[in-house]
Structures are given as structure tokens and as C-alpha cells.
Chain A
Amino acid sequence: MNRRGLFQSLMGLQSTNLTDVPTTQTVKSVADMSEKTSPLTRHEATHLLRRVTFGPTPELVNQITGKTPREAVELLLGPDDVTPSTTPGPWIDNPNENPEGIGSAELKNQIEGLMQSNYRSLVNWWLEQMRIEGSTASEKLTLFWSGHFTSEFTFDEYFMPPQLLYRQNLLIRKDRLLNFKALVEDITLDPAMLFYLGGVQNNKGKPNENYARELMELYTCGIGFYTEGDVKEAARVLTGWRANGFLYEPYPNGYFKTYFFPQAHDVEAKQFMGETIPSRTTDSNNESQVREQEVRVLINILFDKRANAIARFISRKMYNFFVYSNGAEVDENALTEMSNTFVSNNFLIRPLLVKLFTSNHFYSTEVMGVQIKTPAEFLIGMQRSIGTALSNTIATMVQLNQELMDPPDVSGWPGYRTWISTATYPTRRNVAESYFRGLSDTVLNQFIRKFPDYTNVRTLAKDLISYFLPVAVSTTREEFYTQELLGNTLDFDYEWPTILNDPVRTARGVRNMLVSMSKAPDFQLC
């Protein structure tokens, strides 16, 4: 896009579009959204795994190669209900005292230290779920929603109770493929969210607008589809909700549960997006009626009035997450078809994902290899690729700017090229090199034997390239990598069977090739 064009397009653009018809930007269609019905090649299967899971394993590539996209996607999305087999630890059910009000500095530090160590155990638990996940893609989707409906462990001067973050993670996990509108309703009254965006301090008379604004701006329809008046009125609707997060604090519905505090709820009528939410009497000012008649109604109005804007906003975010994170290069045709699918399925998430992952567009060469790996994709993907664990992934995630359940701000991680900088790239290179260098001879010998034609050095090189790098490389590079497998002696392919009989020589060749590939710019892409 040239700059002059940008400035010309900026002249005099100040209007606020308050209809439900999103503006269509420059159309740049690269492939159609019709269903791809031909079986997946090995490279296409690997591409699907790179995008939908945290990265391919040789077993998964073998398993879905030759399936149709629809068969493969059904397998990867799995059943609606997946429950992790472990929990982060017994602390998840034990409330701590709120460090805020504690006079003794020693005790305060002690509790804050406990909250921090519980948070770390929560993140480690999730990273492990990602690493060991089998054939379903639920962890990647859970991460998608966790980056969408953000909650931060540390925000302003507070710590969020990790028990609440754990419960929010389970909520997102449960709803990840179901109905988006139901997910929005769940998250609106989710204890962690109530803590995070000031819901628990949202009182009649002087409402706190924090959540009301983000509900529309970041979580559903996006900027341009609501007025400042809508923000103020939605904040009034949402007054009066509280949640328990700590010991010795009220828990009428149990520990770590939301409850209603009628004295703080604004019972007067509200006007939201042109609809009236009527006033109520003291008798009807209770938890179930306010939830049914105000919170749910607010979300119903939002989804009725702004269905297209919401569908497009979420589709765009999905497209950025799964296809190409460069916001300027979203395929408009894909976006329109995704949005239509989302609306016509009444905001069910599964059909939207099936539509995207089975489309010809998704497998077109134009979108292959364009995605910059997120820190989770990079670190978890590397561990899954070989099957051995990396120590202290959590610390490296911090260095790479992706602290799970603690994004930089309420809009989540900015993504795309912000992941790679002079501060993070050297760490990526160092971690990858030491991971591949540290692989044992045994592991490497077992690893290559998972590739069908490993006895042919040319085929093995091609398969390893396709497995680790998203787009075919030049013949020069391919030759270079092949020579590394062969030990950089002389280019006699027929040496390979002899080398295979020597686990030390085999491992050395494979290790050198993996290290070389990890140094290439395209190792950061998927």
C-alpha cells in the first residue's frame, strides 16, 4: 500500500458508522472459500497441523495425510467436551486471604508469594496440556479465547486470584466450540472478569464503565458500532455484581463464585442501542431476575442489533489467528463467507472453524508459511516436533513476551510482527539451537524412523524440510541440508544406508541439519 494512497484516504474521514453494516475494504481475493474435497497431501496435512494445533508430530502427519480436509478437521476439533486429566494442584480449591487489607507486611508478602507460585503452577499446568495434547486442537482454541477475553494475573497494583484464572480457563475450554453468545454471557459474569475490569466495583449512581466499553470494543462488535451513550447505559445495566476471590470475604454462592448485591444495582430503566430495559422494583431486584432480564437482555440486544458486525469482528480475529495475522491482508471474500456462516449458525463456533479449515483458501499457497509463530507455537511446537520436553518453558515464554493469562493489556497480545524483535529473536535462536543440539542420539535415531521413506536420504531430507519449514526451499538449500545429513563428506547418497547403521553418525547428521534449519528465518514461520 503506498503512503500517498493512505493519506488521501484519510482526508475528511471522521464519520461514525452506527449501523450494523461493516465497511468492506479493498478486496484482495486469493482463493475461494468452497470446500476442498481432495485428500490432504503430506505437506497440506502438516500445514493444517501447524495452524490448528501447536504443531505437527510425525504420528499426526501420518494419521491425517490422505484424509479429506473435513475428516481431518473433525478429528482435530474433537468432541465438544474435553476435560483435562489433571489439575494444577490442590490449591485451586483453597481460598487465600486478600493481601490488600493485611496490615502485617510479612504476612502480606507471604500471601502474595503464594499467589505468585500458584499462578506459576497454573501456567505450567497449561503449558504441559499444550505439549502433551494428542489428536485434538482444544488447547490452541483455548489460547485463542484466552487472548480474546483477556484477564491479567497482574493488573495495576493488584494480583488476580489464580483460582479465578483457573476457573476462567475451564470456562473458556468448555465453551470453545459452542455458542459464542453464550460464551459472552458466561464471561460477563465470570468472577475473574468481574475482578479484572472493575465489575465488582460497578455501583449504581456512579458506574464504572471499564467492562461495558471492552465488551463492545474488544469482545464483540468492535469500535465504530456503539456510541459513548451505549457504554454508559451498558455500565448501568451491569451494576451490582460481585464475586468471591478470597477467604474471609462474602461467598453467598460459594467460594470463587459470582453473586448479586442488590443495593449496588441501578434499578431504573436503561436505553441501550435504541431499546429499553425497563425499571424494576425492589422485589424483582434479585440475582436470577436481573441476570435473566438485564444481563441476558443486554447481550441479546447487542447480538440482535449488531449481528453482522460481531460476526465479522470475530471472523477477522479468527482469520488473523489461524490464517494470517497481518491485519492489512485479510481476505475479504473469506471474511464475508465466514461471517455469513457464523450468523446463519446462530453464532456456533464449530461450523465457523470447519468452514475455514476445509476451504480451498486455507490450503492455497498464498497463505502457506505467512504466519509468524507465536511464542507458544514456537516453544510448544518445537517440543512436540521431536517429542521431548524443554526445561523451564515458562521462563522462556516470559522472555518472548507471552505470559499466559497475563497479556500486556486488555486487548491481549498485539501479535504479528510484534512477536519478533531484537529483544526476542536472539532468545528464539538460542533456545532452538540448544534444544536441537541437546537431543540424544537415541531420540534422533528414533525420530527419523517415523518418516515413511527414511532410508532414502533425498526423501528424508525433503520430508524433514516440509516438517520443519512451511514452504519448499530452494534447491541449493535442499542440497545443503541433504549434505548435512550425509555428514558433509562427499555427496554420495549411497553412503546413507551405511550411515543409518551407525547411530552416532546418523544422529550427528540429523542434529546438524535440524540446527541449521532452526537458524533460518523461515523456521520462525508456520
Chain B
Amino acid sequence: MNRRSFLQKSAIATAAAPTIIGGMPLLASSPSSALGSNFMNNDNIVIIIQLFGGNDGLNTIVPAEDDNYYNLRPGISVVKDTAVRILGSDVFLHPALVENVHNGGMLNLLEQGNLAVIENVGYENPNLSHFRSTDIWLSGINSSNPDVRLDTGWVGRYFERNLTNFPLVIPEDPLAIQIGGSLSMLLKSQSGDMGITLRDPDSFFQKGAGLTPDEDYFDPATNNYQEEFNFIRTIAKQSDVYSQKVKAAFDKGTNVVNYSQGFAQQLRLISRLISGGLKSKVYMCFMGGFDTHVQQQQSDNLGFHPSLLNNLSNGICQFMDDAIQQGFGEKVVGLTISEFGRRPFENGSRGTDHGAASVQFVFGRNVNAAVYGNPPDLENFTNNGDIVYQNDYRRVYVDILESWFEETPETIEQILGAKVNRLGTIKKRVTSVPELIEPVNGTPFDLYPNPSRGNSVCSFLLKHPTNVSLTIYDTRGVAVKKIYNGHLNSGFHTIPLTVANSGSFVAVLEANGYHYTSNFSVTR
């Protein structure tokens, strides 16, 4: 009897040759049927920056032309002369995002076409608990009902869909890397953890080697003990395999920009791993301290919250400079998430309590640089006195899944459990498919009458037979009604649509991966 007999069939056998499917090699003893067909069809990468505590949107993108702002915040506002105007707009950046920031800060990033700013991001029935609201953001599922458990992330579910044999088969490179901490719900799925946490590649390399256990998986697990055993066994195997992969990329990669201390170091590590050729799809980093109940800012625009903004902006600007100089700026898109904004009015501790809608940043060479949405309405609040949201928080997720990961609308709806309209912050990198809608009188599709009393007709000309969908969304991006989804022949088509309530809506026609949008209103 010897140790060899403990080695099992499904472990990562050291001799196993990687199978390469759609650009993402997998280590497997099982056949490639474990994979979805369209998995990882490009080398695009996403970086998600979590600002924990609830970032104060009003003191990030400053409504400096609104007197209400100064009345609500006599002690902690940004004086108008000192706020940094985004050229040709009534939108102002907090000076901490620009001054003493690498390469001209977020203003330059925006002017170079590498930054999108989204105003008033939030969701229906805002939850003011850090934890529930964080869960809502990370899961991509908007449910304030505490009885609905949220324990998987939208990124975890995206990966899970494409890895049916996980964890018996694991990808050769980690799917996702989280810098530090315990693994975020974002990367969790029902099948297990879809990412790894990484602190220090050298120490990981030294400690991780050879950790794949001799003991076999329970296959299938039939009770909770066996489920937990398998979970740990998978982490052990990932530690073993990925410690070597990460180290190789780390040693091969480089940084060509000096990064600030603190938060920026997380992005520095990410940049170096990408530079070294690691094929991970998602990186996550974390910044705490945004729960600014007390002493958030002094009258000179300095203080605790401004220094957080400064660190954030420095990190992003240094990373972008590094990425562009090294030539991988094209394949990276980053976004910030934060569970909520703060109350519009300051509290008695020179701080702000938990609020609702806030701002979001999306950065990268392939963003559609713009400010999305209007400055917050500081006269009409929610019943609880909070800022009303204008853009559903999942719209950027849809942009990523659709434009960046090239998932189908059906898949995206299944991942998010709801149909949400894209915001359009991200450009597709390569567009090889032809446009099949032929504009008529200069417009790809016509909606008549508009405004209507509830009934109108959508018409368009299709060049070749294809699948077409027509969906009505509210202005915040959540689907109101699915009008049509099916195959159509070439030619001129008319689709009637009926909306039951008065209001402003957005009709989106999708054909062959292209989207055509028309705003309309209904008065019944």
C-alpha cells in the first residue's frame, strides 16, 4: 500500500496537456464538451473597483451650479471656483480627482476619450444597509426582500454557465483574480468559487506548490460534509496550479509607470499580471473607508473623502497610462461600484449618512467617453429624502456582458434574472458581423405615432433574414415589455406595440448584435 493509490482520476494530472477552446486553455482529463461554445471568444479583460462604505456621489461629481447643493451642505461642499468643470458641460469633478493626480487626472482621462461618468446610478427601492445593498450590487439582482438570499455574483454566474464540469475541470489560468481579502460574492457561483484571491505572487508561489491533496473528491457529494470537503479540495488544487501560473506571469510582466502607495498598488499588480500574459478575464480590487459619517471634508477641499478620491483617481490614471504605453489599453475596461451614495444633506458630524443614488466611472480605451445622465435633482427626493436614481445599476453590467464578453441578450437576461437595457458605455473591439438594418429616410427604424396614446407601430427594413428582438424599457433601463423576439425574413416589417401606462420609454430594436434606439412617450 503506498501513496500512489490515493492519486485520483480527476485531479489535475501533471502530465495533462492543456486543451485550448476559444482562446481559453483548460486543464482537463474530461473532454471539451465541458465548455460552452462561445466561451471566452476574445481576450478582453474587466477590472472592477469596489468602493466600500457608500461613496458620496455629490462630492465626487459636484453639482456646482445648483444652489441647493450649497444649502444642503454648508460645511462640506466644494466651492464652485475650486470644482473642475468638464469642458462644455454643467458637470464638475471634485478637484481631488484632478489636482495632484498622475497625467492630468480624470479630466484628462475624459478628454482623451478614456472615461465615462454616469450620474445617479441606483435601483428601485433603495436599501440603506451596507451589506444588503452591496449584495444587490455584487449579485446583480435587485431584491430588498431579506428573505431572498443573495449568495452568488453576476460574474460568478457568467463563468458558471460556461463551465459545466467545474470543478472537476478547471481553466488553465484563473478566471478571475481578486487582490487581497476574502473572495467576493461577485465571483461566487452555485458550483463554487470562480476566482482566486491573491496577495503576493512570490509568497503564493512558494506556499502553493504541491498542495493538491492526495484524497479524492466525493463525486458526487451526497451531503454537506462532502460538499465542504470538495470545496476545500478545489481551493487546494487551485492554489497549487495557479500559484505557478501567476508567478510566471508576474515574472514576465512589467510596469512602465510609477504607482502611488496604497490603493494604486493593487492596480500596479493587475497591470503587471496582464503585461505578463495572464489570461484571467476579471480582476477585482477593493477600497474601503467611504462610509463617511464623520469629518469627511474640510473647507479647503482636503480631508478624508478627498484623499480617497485622490487615491482612486491616481490609481486609475496610472494604470491607464501604464496600459496604453504597454499596448494593452485596448483590451481592458474598468468600472467602479459602490453600494450607495450619501444623504444629500450633511449630518451634525461634518459627514453624511447612508443615501441612495450615486455616481459611477467606466474607464478604458474602448469606452464611449461622455457624461451619462443629468446632474442630480436636489429638489425632488425619494420619500426618505434621498437622491432619485436615473440609471439602473445593471446597465453597465449589460454593457460588459454584451459588448465586452459578447454574450447574447438571452444569456444576459438569464444571468441577471431581468431584462435590462444597455447604457452604451463600451465599444465592441472588433465588429465582424454586418449590419442588417437598412435605414429608410435616414433612420434605421421608425416609431409612429410618437407621442402616442399607447398604440404605435415600429417599422424597419431588413436586408437579410435574421433574429430580431424589440423591447420597451423605462428611462432607467429596466424592461417594461418584450414586444417581439424571433426570426424574420428580409424585407420591410411593421410590428405594432402597445404600452399600457403613460410615461417616457425607450424602444430598442436588436438585430445581428446591433442595437437601434428610439425614445418615445405615451399619454393615455
The contact string, 1 if C-beta is below 8 Å from chain A, for chain B 180-200, is 111100001010010011110
* A-B CB proximity, top 9 nearest: A206-B348, A426-B207, A418-B182, A201-B349, A422-B196, A521-B232, A423-B197, A224-B146, A7-B417
CB–CB A426/B239 < 8 A: yes
**CB nearest neighbor in A for B127:** A223
Annotate B208-226 by CB proximity to A: 1 below 8 A, 0 otherwise. 1001011100000001110
Question: Quick check: is A395 within 8 A (CB to CB) of the other chain?
Answer: no
B149 touches A422 (CB 8 A): no
- Please, which residues of chain A bring their CB within 8 A of the CB of B190? 1-3
B348 in contact with A10 (CB, 8 Å): no
Considering the complex, give the chain B residue whose CB is closest to the CB of A426. B207
A-side contacts of B370, CB under 8 Å: none
A9: B residues at CB distance < 8 A: 148
Contact check: which of A10, A426, A476 meets B6 at CB < 8 Å? Answer: A476
Residue B520 at the A interface, CB < 8 A?
A: no
A-B contacts, 14 of them at CB < 8 A, read: A14-B145, A16-B144, A205-B348, A206-B349, A208-B351, A223-B129, A228-B128, A326-B224, A370-B224, A370-B228, A408-B181, A417-B183, A422-B204, A520-B214
> How far is it, in angstroms, between the C-alpha of A430 and the C-alpha of B304 when the chains are bound?
39
Contact of A14 among B125, B132, B349, B354 (CB under 8 A): B125
B42 in the interface, Cβ–Cβ < 8 Å? no
Kindly state whether residue A483 has any CB partner on chain B within 8 Å: yes
Question: 18 additional contacts, CB 8 Å, given A9-B148, A10-B148?
Answer: A3-B157, A7-B414, A203-B348, A204-B348, A208-B351, A218-B131, A327-B149, A369-B228, A409-B52, A420-B232, A422-B198, A423-B198, A425-B235, A426-B204, A426-B208, A483-B1, A521-B230, A521-B232
Which of B1, B149, B211, B289 is A156 in contact with, Cβ under 8 Å? Answer: B289
Check A14 against B144 for contact (C-beta < 8 Å): yes
Residues of A within 8 A of B225 (CB): 368-370, 470-471, 525
Tell me how far the C-beta of B377 lies from the nearest C-beta in chain A, rounded to whole angstroms: 20
B340 to chain A, nearest CB (A): 12
Question: With a CB–CB cut-off of 8 A, which chain B residues contact A32?
Answer: none
Does B79 sit within 8 A of A, measured CB to CB?
Answer: no
A519, B6: Cα distance in complex, Å? 13
Q: Any chain A CB within 8 A of the CB of B438? A: no
Listed in ascending order, the chain A residues whose CB lies under 8 Å from chain B are 1-3, 6-7, 9-10, 13-17, 23, 25, 156-157, 198, 201-210, 213, 217-218, 222-224, 228, 231, 324, 326-329, 366-372, 401, 408-411, 414, 417-427, 429-430, 470-471, 476-477, 479-480, 483, 491, 519-522, 524-525
Q: Does B293 contact A (CB under 8 A)?
A: yes
Chain B residues with Cβ below 8 Å from A480 are 1, 3, 6
State whether A419 touches B182 (Cβ < 8 A).
Answer: yes
In the complex, which residues of chain A have a beta carbon less than 8 angstroms from the beta carbon of B5?
Answer: 476
Number of A-B contacts (CB under 8 A): 199
Q: Which residues of B contact A370 (CB under 8 A)?
A: 224-225, 228
Q: Interface code B139-178, partner A: CB below 8 Å = 1, 0 otherwise?
A: 0010111111101000001000000000000000000000
How many Å from the CB of B261 to the closest CB on chain A? 15
Contact B215 A477 (CB under 8 A): yes
- Quick one: which of A222, A409, A426, A477 contacts B146, CB cutoff 8 A? A222
Choose one: B141, B182, B228, B292; the contact of A401 (CB below 8 Å): B182
Q: Which B residues from 382 to 398 make CB contacts under 8 A with A?
A: 384
Q: Please give, as numbers and ranges, the residues of chain A lying within 8 Å of B235 by CB-CB distance.
A: 420-422, 425
Q: Does B130 contact A (CB under 8 A)?
A: yes
> Which B1-53 residues have C-beta < 8 A from chain A?
1, 3, 5-6, 52
For residue B347, CB closer than 8 A to chain A, the reply is yes
CA distance A366 to B224 in the complex (A): 7
Determine whether the beta carbon of A417 is less than 8 Å from that of B236: no
Taking the nearest CB of chain B, how far is it from the CB of A397, in angstroms? 14
Known: A370-B228, A519-B213. A14 touches B208 (CB 8 A): no
In this assembly, does B124 line the interface, its C-beta being within 8 Å of a C-beta of chain A? yes
Q: Which residues of B contact A520 (CB under 8 A)?
A: 213-215
Beta-carbon nearest neighbor of A483 in chain B: B1
Which chain A positions have C-beta within 8 A of B231?
417, 420
Minimum Cβ distance to chain A for residue B90 (Å):
29
Q: A420-B231, A422-B242 are in contact. Are A13 and B130 (CB under 8 A)?
A: no
Q: B55 contacts the other chain (Cβ, under 8 Å)?
A: no
Closest to B350 in A: A201
The docked-state distance in angstroms from the alpha carbon of A201 to that of B292 is: 13
Residues of B within 8 A of A418 (CB): 182-183
* Distance between A423 CB and nearest chain B CB, rounded to angstroms: 4
A207–B238 CB distance below 8 A: no
Chain B interface, >50% SS class: loop
Across-interface contacts of B414 in A (CB, < 8 A): 7
Q: Chain B residues near A201 (CB, 8 Å)?
A: 293-294, 348-349
Decide yes or no whether B491 CB sits under 8 A from chain A: no
Task: Name the distance in Å between B224's Cβ and chain A's nearest Cβ.
Answer: 4
Q: Is there a chain A Cβ closer than 8 Å to B229's Cβ?
A: yes
Which residues of chain A are within 8 angstroms of B6 by Cβ–Cβ distance? 476-477, 480
Q: Is the CB of A411 within 8 A of B197?
A: no
Any chain A CB within 8 A of the CB of B322?
A: no
- Least distance between A493 CB and chain B CB atoms (Å): 14
B353–A208 CB distance below 8 A: yes
Instruction: Decide: A156 near B129, CB < 8 A? Known: A370-B225, A420-B231, A426-B239.
Output: no
Closest to A414 in B: B182
| B293 and A10 within 8 A (CB) | no
Residues on A with beta carbons closer than 8 Å to the beta carbon of B132: 223
Contacts of A156 in B (CB 8 A): 289, 291-292, 294, 304
B236, A521: Cβ atoms under 8 Å?
yes
A324 to chain B, nearest CB (A): 7
Is there contact, CB below 8 Å, between B239 and A425? yes
- Given the complex of chains A and B, what is the CA–CA distance between A423 and B146 in angstroms? 31
- Decide if A208 touches B181 in the complex (CB within 8 Å): no
Q: Tell me if B346 is interfacial: C-beta within 8 Å of chain A.
A: yes
Choose one: A210, A368, A426, A427; the contact of B353 (CB below 8 Å): A210
A329 touching B224 by the CB < 8 A rule?
A: yes
Residues of chain A with a CB closer than 8 A to B233's CB: 521
Q: When chains A and B are docked, how far (Å) is the Cα of A414 from the Cα of B225?
A: 20
Residue of A205, A426, A427, A477 with highest tally of chain B CB at under 10 A: A426
Residues of B within 8 A of A2 (CB): 190
Which A residue's beta carbon lies closest to that of B346? A206
B243 in the interface, Cβ–Cβ < 8 Å?
yes
Chain A contacts for B215, CB-based, 8 A: 477, 520-522
A222 to B127, CA, bound (A): 13
Residues of A within 8 Å of B183, CB to CB, are 417-418, 421
> Which residues of A lie under 8 Å from residue B354 when comparing CB positions?
209, 213
Cβ–Cβ < 8 Å partners of B262 in chain A: none
Residues of chain A contacted by B193 (CB below 8 angstroms): 417, 421
Are A14 and B124 interface neighbours, CB within 8 A?
Answer: yes
Asked if A372 and B228 make an inter-chain contact with CB atoms under 8 angstroms apart, the answer reads yes
B449 CB–A CB distance under 8 Å:
no
B224 touches A324 (CB 8 A): yes
Q: Once the chains are docked, how many angstroms separate the CA of A480 from the CA of B215?
A: 11
Instruction: List the B side residues contacting A519 at CB < 8 Å.
Output: 213-214
Look across to chain B and name the residue whose beta carbon is closest to the beta carbon of A368. B225
Q: Which residues of A contact B239 (CB under 8 A)?
A: 422, 425-426
Give A409 to B193 CA distance when docked, in angstroms.
Answer: 22
Instruction: Compute how far the CA of A10 lies from the CA of B125 in the bound complex, rounded to whole angstroms.
Output: 14
Q: Is B277 an interface residue (CB 8 A)?
A: no
Closest to A8 in B: B417
> Is B465 in contact with chain A by the CB < 8 A criterion?
no
State in angstroms the CA–CA spacing of A23 and B148 once bound together.
10
Residues of A within 8 A of B496 (CB): none
Nearest B residue (CB) for A15:
B145
> In the complex, what's the smallest C-beta–C-beta distance from A214 to chain B, in angstroms?
9
By the criterion CB–CB under 8 Å, are B143 and A13 in contact?
Answer: yes
**CA of A411 to CA of B5 in the docked complex: distance in angstroms?**
45
Is B439 in contact with chain A by the CB < 8 A criterion? no
List, in ascending order, chain A residues with CB within 8 A of B147's CB.
Answer: 13, 17, 23, 25, 224
| Complex Cα spacing A335 to B231, Å | 26
Most chain B CB within 10 A, of A421, A423, A520, is at A423
